[in-house]
Structure 1
Amino acid sequence: MSNDFLTIWGQLPDIGSGFLNTIILVCIAASASLLLGIVLTPMLMSSRPGIARVANGFCDAMRCVPFLLFVYLIYFALPSMGVRLSNWTSGVLALVLYNSAYMAVLLRAAWQDLPADTIESARAFGFHGVGLMRRIIMPQVLMRAIPSLGNQLIQIVKDSAFLSIIAVTELTSVMNSIQSTYFIPFAAFLSAVLLYWLLCLCIEILTSLLSRYAEERRT
């Protein structure tokens, strides 16, 4: 068994490259899905039924479709319609679209939790439309949603492992390649689990620090 882990150690450059790709995927997907979620949130809260229905329909569709099937749909089905994307682009697009729906729903819940008098007071001081959203509502919404957004970021880390099925060279793909070459599945996948755990632990620590900061700002 110790020899298996020595073999893993010998593949450290490839593992490091796969782990770095996972981090890059997660950072890109988290940033883009949060931005798209911020755009979707006012649509979910819109008083115009048509806009609200479209936004809710998109979010419901993403939340009801298994992520693995959604990846298949983008990577394998879109080329039949003339849309050809690389495996990396397909993976990022799948992560962003899928998780933006969850981000929007989480932000909507935080928005609904805002005290009504806060928004009314802002309107009394002359804030309306985009200015009200950008200066008053969204900063408070983001502060309140930090714990939930941190959980969703961890979900993005876990979702990224599915991209190995379309040959994106992230951590799971690299570990699967190592175990199939050297026939050491326990050592390979246990090492992957530990690295994913380390990444998620870093996210939890960052979320805790940001939550503490947000709490101090509210008080």
Structure 2
Amino acid sequence: MMMLQNADDLLIKPLENFRKEQIGLTKEQKKKFDKDSEKFYSLLDRHLHLSAKKKESQLQEADLQVDRERQNFYESSLEYIYQIQEVQESKKFSIVEPVLAFLHCLFTSNSLTFDMTQDFLPYKQQLQLSLQNTRNHFCSTREEMEDLKKRMTETHMICKLPGQSTIEGYLHSQERRALGITWVKYYCKYKKEGKSLIMTPTEQKTGSRQVSSRNPKTPQ
């Protein structure tokens, strides 16, 4: 905000004033010069076509009018030339001075900014390192998630292949025997299409018996 305010005060406003006061005044003088020129040339053309038969007093009055308009034309011409010269000379400092003042302010601000940057440098480096670690973690996590998503998608598609079981795996079933209750391990295949469950007993590695149970057969 300070830089913008300085740019407005030190650079833009002085250049706007130069444009309005110097160049604007010259433009107005040019309009007056064009008007006086047209008026003088028109009068001079009429004067050249005056009849020699007119009275001497009329011819003298016409000469005096031409002299007056010639004087106005000369004065307007000189003023216009003067304004052009003034603009050409004053712009050499009226434009350079605001630019120089703004550059001085800019360099001063940059010097202060450099000092602040040096003080902030350790925090900036630490933040950059933390950001890089966070980004690396994000990238590795994203790759793992994409790989997991791909494998889960492929597994889901394999489970839905025609002729394959919808789901299969080991299941322990609690069964009542003569001497109590025991666990029997089965390898089960369930097919959703026919709603059939095939249970194949397998050799048990471990087993346990209980004296009694309220549920004679509870799958797990």
Q: Which TM-score band (shorter chain)?
A: under 0.3
- Largest Rg, 1 or 2: 2
Report which of the two has the higher share of strand. Answer: 2
Report which of the two has the higher share of helix. Answer: 1
- Given the two structures, how large is their TM-score scaled by the length of structure 2? 0.27
- Given the two structures, how large is their TM-score scaled by the length of structure 1? 0.27
| More relative contact order, 1 or 2 (CA 8 Å, 6+ apart) | 1
